[in-house]
Copies of this chain bind each other. A is one copy, B any other.
């Protein structure tokens, strides 16, 4: 399965989870990355909260983020008035929701691994 389709599976699972929560909506953003404007992978929200979510699914131990990717998520979220979140699934573990500020920062990129997810991340039921 390609990296792209794995990401989409994580997005779909997240979207289903939000719709199961009374009052919540979620939808996948088209062409995130293909249009020149910042956009998250998923926009979720209810009457009072809005979440801009970047979704990743990886078989490796680490997930890397280019600085530009995180910057775009933060830019979009600030303009739209949404909370920025990063949702990551490592292997077949649970999906952890991380705040961008909790990613590990290296000189050129941001990284996350499963222990960071368990330490700083939130499970779906804790962010809704």
Q: Which residues of A are at the interface with B, using a C-beta cutoff of 8 A? A: 12, 15, 19, 23-32, 35, 37-39, 43, 45-48, 50, 76, 78-81
- List the B side residues contacting A31 at CB < 8 Å: 28, 30
Q: So how many copies of this chain end up in the complex?
A: 2
A15 and B27 in contact (CB under 8 A), knowing A46-B80, A80-B46, A81-B48? no
- Asked if A47 and B81 make an inter-chain contact with CB atoms under 8 angstroms apart, the answer reads yes
Cβ-defined partner of A47 (8 Å) among B24, B35, B39, B79: B79
Smallest beta-carbon distance A55→chain B, Å: 12
- List the B side residues contacting A79 at CB < 8 Å: 23-25, 46-47
- List the B side residues contacting A32 at CB < 8 Å: 27
> Roughly how many angstroms separate A35 CA and B42 CA in the complex, as a whole number?
14
Smallest beta-carbon distance A94→chain B, Å: 22
Smallest beta-carbon distance A74→chain B, Å: 13
- List the B side residues contacting A15 at CB < 8 Å: 35, 37
- List the B side residues contacting A46 at CB < 8 Å: 79-81
A76 and B28 in contact (CB under 8 A), knowing A35-B15, A81-B47? no
